[in-house]
Amino acid sequence: MDHALMQIPFAELLGRLRLRFIPYIPDVLDVLVVAVILYGILLWLKQRRSRAVVVGCAAVAGLYVGARVFGMYLTLSFFHAGLTAILVSLVVIFQDDLRRMFERFAHSQAFVRNEQMAPEATTIDVIVEAISTLAENQIGALVVFEGREPWDRHTRGGIPLNGQISLPLLCSIFHPESPGHDGAVVVSRDRVKAFAVHLPLSANFIEIGQAGTRHTAALGLAERSDALIIAVSEERGTISVAEAGKLEQGASADDLKRRLVRYYQRQLAAPGVVKRRDWLQNLPLKLVALALASLLWVSVAYRVETIQRTVAVPIEYRNLPPELALDDPRPTEAQVTLSGAERVFDFDPQTLVVSLDMSAARPGWQEFVLTHDSLKKPVGLTVQEIEPRVIRLRVHRLKR
């Protein structure tokens, strides 16, 4: 460590660091908050896969940024006048998505204590065996593994069961002669919570492809919640897995077991536990959101206009030898003219002080020069003028 820094008192060193770095903390937080919001929007757009929505939002955002940069006041006035109507329209149009966003936030691992226990390995083996058996016999099935988010408002019907998962139970429910074989079975841990549940249908025909109604229902619930849904095709005898708005068709028994193990590990993880792979998940999308937030801050929030301000700054006389004293030290403040970007002036002027080093003072009349280095100022500001530049003081020796 530098020897000069070691001689600086801790309080003064802390004050210097505060003046140097605190002006940038709100900007960093501003970019991070906008980046999180943009990441949520981009993730939602990715799940919706709506190119028209993406292009429309990008066009409106680009028009607003261009209006701010080039000073298009009429366009900006139009945006300001219609902002309330636009927000209300967005809330009405995307009310289901906004509700799910708040529900996901409220039921996240950081705020919800998980009281569930992980199912035994034999339970997962029983599920995989039952699904494989149904697929081999080309018996249609739809099994829902509930997650943290509430999903009841998306479904209709259903008969409560609360039965232990077993191969005969699942096969009997989905038997073609069973009254509830067309509905879905809801699994909670190692229990069959309900059966004959009707799921919402998806409108993403690109993802569905040639799949049938069961796959459409599986994808529909996967788009609206964090549940994992398994669909067995009655025509082809194949296994499909729907999760996070995606439908994976043609899964094998080993693939199904790995998905179930990974799903339960993620859903039943301890609250507040964030693994490295969670940070790296959707990393390109997070980097894009951070880059967009930085670009918006530079183009909209960053104020580059150079201005000048003159402020009255108190003068402190420091390091005077203990055997000396000042006769009526005046002036007590200096008029300092500062210049810099407008955003740098967002600080408390009372934190400014002109420090005059008196360690070389001798008895008698003396002149001291106020230099630019005498002012403790935030980074980014330049001292243009200090008035007065020269201070004449009388120093006398104290009598014992």
First to last CA, the chain: 41
Helix (H, G, I), strand (E, B) or coil at 230: strand
- CATH level 2 (architecture), domain 304-397: Beta Complex (2.170)
Out of 63-72, 188-197, 265-274, 337-346, least confident range: 265-274
What backbone torsions phi and psi does residue 104 show, to the nearest 5 degrees?
-65, -40
Non-local (6+) Cβ contacts of 111 within 8 A are 105, 271
**252 or 25, which is more confident:** 252
**281 or 326, which is more confident:** 326
pLDDT band at 134 (very low <50, low <70, confident <90, very high): very high
Query: In Å, how far from its chain's centre is CA 181?
Result: 42
Query: Which residues belong to CATH 3.40.1700.10 in the chain?
Result: 121-268
- Number of neighbouring beta carbons within 10 Å of residue 318: 10
- Residues 44-98 have pLDDT tens digits of 666 655 556 667 777 777 787 788 777 787 887 777 777 677 777 766 766 666 6
Which range scores top for mean pLDDT: 10-14, 39-43, 95-99, 214-218?
214-218
How far apart CA 201 and CA 142 sit, in angstroms, is 13
Percent of the chain surpassing pLDDT 70: 76
Average pLDDT over residues 140-148: 89
- Number of neighbouring beta carbons within 10 Å of residue 378: 21
> Which residue in the block uniquely carries the two structure tokens 């209300």?
88
Non-local (6+) Cβ contacts of 220 within 8 A are 154, 199, 200, 201, 202
What is the token pair recorded at 14? Answer: 């802390």
Helix (H, G, I), strand (E, B) or coil at 67: helix
Out of 21-35, 239-253, 308-322, 330-344, least confident range: 21-35
How far, CA to CA in Å, does 248 sit from each of 39, 155, 244, 274?
Answer: 24, 22, 11, 26
How far, CA to CA in Å, does 109 sit from each of 106, 117, 260?
Answer: 9, 15, 19
pLDDT band at 272 (very low <50, low <70, confident <90, very high): very low
Query: In Å, how far from its chain's centre is CA 328?
Result: 57
- Residues 363-391 have pLDDT tens digits of 888 888 888 888 877 777 888 888 888 88
How far apart CA 240 and CA 23 sit, in angstroms, is 53
Helix (H, G, I), strand (E, B) or coil at 386: strand
Find, among 325, 336, 339, the residue nearest to 382 by Cα. Answer: 339
Query: Which residues belong to CATH 2.170.120.30 in the chain?
Result: 304-397
**18 or 188, which is more confident:** 188
Type and span of the H or E element at 92: helix 73-93
* Total residue length of the chain: 400
Asked whether the beta carbons of 185 and 192 are under 8 A apart, the reply is yes
How far apart CA 159 and CA 212 sit, in angstroms, is 24
In the β-sheet with 390-397, what is the strand arrangement from edge to edge?
324-327, 390-397, 364-369
Find, among 320, 321, 338, 330, the residue nearest to 375 by Cα. Answer: 338
Percent of the chain surpassing pLDDT 90: 14
Helix (H, G, I), strand (E, B) or coil at 240: strand
HSE-CB at 73 with a 13 A cutoff on CA atoms is 0
Predicted TM-score (pTM) of the model is 0.56
How far apart CA 223 and CA 43 sit, in angstroms, is 12
How far apart CA 287 and CA 299 sit, in angstroms, is 18
Burial class of 142 by CB neighbour count within 10 A (0 to 12, 13 to 18, 19+): buried
How far apart CA 229 and CA 146 sit, in angstroms, is 8
Find, among 272, 213, 270, 281, the residue nearest to 244 by Cα. Answer: 281
Burial class of 389 by CB neighbour count within 10 A (0 to 12, 13 to 18, 19+): exposed
Domain 121-268 - what CATH class? alpha beta
